Structure 1
Amino acid sequence: MNNNLIITIGRECGSGGRQIGQKLAERLGIKCYDKELLSMAAKESGLAEELFKTHDEKPTNSFLYSLVMDTYSMGGYSASAYMDMPLNHKIFLAQFDSIKKLADRESCVIVGRCADYALADYPNVVSVFIRGDDSDKIRHLAAKHNISENSAKDIMIKTDKRRSSYYNYYSNKRWGSSKSYDLCLNSSVVGYDGAVNIIEEFAKQKQAYIKHMQEKYNSEKR
């Protein structure tokens, strides 16, 4: 385990989570990974990148899921078990592995894709969820895609439903629940820059507290 700082960001559609992640990464002098993870996982796994784009943050209903994840949690999977996996499980595990390798390699911001779940055992991870008021999210999406507010609302609802289903399916937590993250923020209340400031300060406080507790533990062992 290393001391790399990893900030994971879950987000509601239209809340500005990706923009906040990019601003935060720029502030901290590190990289922000979003769809870049798809290319990375494709390269490292040997699977076609187009497959990752097709299955990106989309759930499945395969009965093999429990067996797959139980096998993975026990320290790996056999070649035969891997070959029997549904394609979307292979893609999920490829991203899972790439996220871990990335966290081992460098400090960074990771947007979406159950990164907080993949890195649950990493002490220097700050998990954040960004939400927003529906009216603000709809206006943001309408302006971004040059569409009507009704169309923007439809995109928002469908995207959040897909992200929620994916997160709830592949993790042992609930998407958007305060219990699932270190920090939950409403970008409609604090703005994008305000969210960046809060996350940066929260990360500093968490790192300081972890260091303090480690020093306290070490002194008690002596």
Structure 2
Amino acid sequence: MHGNLVITIGRECGSGGRFIGQKLAERLGVRCYDKELLALSAKNSGLCEEIFEHHDEKPTNSFLYSLVMDTYSMSYNPSNFVDMPLNQKVFLAQFDTIKRLAEQESCVIVGRCADYALAEYPNMVSVFTTAAYDDKVEYLKEHYHIEPSKIKDFITKTDKKRASYYNYYANKKWGSAKSYDLCINRSAVGFDGAVDVILNFVDVKKANKK
């Protein structure tokens, strides 16, 4: 593969996809974009960052909220997206930012339908991470300090939101092996093992394209 390498990571809640992405970026000597993508998209589009935070990985929002925020957002860039629903503006702004990043640098991008945005990009490797439920619980307790009694509901709601967002925009099934180049059970290989598997896959893909 020639040009910038972009690895996208979809993840089940608690599987540690973000943590794996950060460790992967460190090994590669590149940046990892997760929430950072929101600020970058806001800067590139002229919309305020709070809008991106509210719509982050959400397919739809209430009509009233969109109506109010549409009016508010117009002051930032009145020539763009005028007749478009706000959630569509946010998605397209992130879509554009992801494509710009791929042209500018090698990087790791977590979530945000990045694999869909870069579907035609030859140097993209799409990864999806999962894990056993007990391991998800331990990860969320340690890294996000969520109370044990609330973890099951948190996982269910987060995964539902991510699935709805991905299925809505990417027109593919979130979490399905058919939607990604590589699916990894973090419980089976550990965090460092997951990074090794991804890097080995990248090397094989590079060799196969020569």
TM-score, normalised to structure 1, is 0.84
Query: Which letter maps to 1:17?
Result: G
Q: Secondary structure at the match of 2:27?
A: helix
- Asked whether the 8 Å contact 1:59–1:166 carries over to 2, the reply is yes
Q: Deviations over 1:159-214 (max 9, x none)?
A: 00000000000002110000000000000110000000000010111112112xxx
Q: Deviations over 1:24-45 (max 9, x none)?
A: 0100111111111101100000
Rounded to whole Å, the distance in 2 between the matches of 1:109 and 1:144 is 20
Rounded to whole Å, the distance in 2 between the matches of 1:2 and 1:172 is 28
Percent of aligned positions with the same letter in both sequences? 65
How far residue 8 of structure 1 moved from its aligned partner, in angstroms, is 0.3
How many residue pairs get aligned? The number is 194
How far residue 61 of structure 1 moved from its aligned partner, in angstroms, is 7.5
Rounded to whole Å, the distance in 2 between the matches of 1:167 and 1:50 is 21
Rounded to whole Å, the distance in 2 between the matches of 1:119 and 1:209 is 20
Matches within 5 A, 1:74-89: 82-89=81-88
Counterpart of 2:6 in structure 1 is: 6
Q: Does 1:92 align with 2:91?
A: yes
Rounded to whole Å, the distance in 1 between the matches of 2:146 and 2:49 is 29
Q: Does 1:144 align with 2:143?
A: yes
Matches within 5 A, 1:1-222: 3-60=3-60, 82-211=81-210
TM-score, normalised to structure 2, is 0.88
Q: List gaps (5 residues or longer) in structure 1.
A: 63-78, 212-222
Query: Which letter maps to 2:154?
Result: I
Q: Secondary structure at the match of 1:10?
A: strand
- Asked whether the 8 Å contact 2:4–2:106 carries over to 1, the reply is yes
Counterpart of 2:68 in structure 1 is: none
Q: Secondary structure at the match of 1:32?
A: strand
- Asked whether the 8 Å contact 1:4–1:124 carries over to 2, the reply is yes
- Asked whether the 8 Å contact 1:10–1:112 carries over to 2, the reply is yes
- Asked whether the 8 Å contact 1:7–1:125 carries over to 2, the reply is yes
Larger radius of gyration: 1
Q: Secondary structure at the match of 1:7?
A: strand
Query: Which letter maps to 1:164?
Result: A
Rounded to whole Å, the distance in 1 between the matches of 2:2 and 2:181 is 20
- Asked whether the 8 Å contact 1:2–1:104 carries over to 2, the reply is no
Q: CA RMSD in A?
A: 1.6
Counterpart of 2:66 in structure 1 is: none
Rounded to whole Å, the distance in 2 between the matches of 1:183 and 1:43 is 32
Rounded to whole Å, the distance in 2 between the matches of 1:196 and 1:88 is 33
Rounded to whole Å, the distance in 2 between the matches of 1:21 and 1:144 is 15
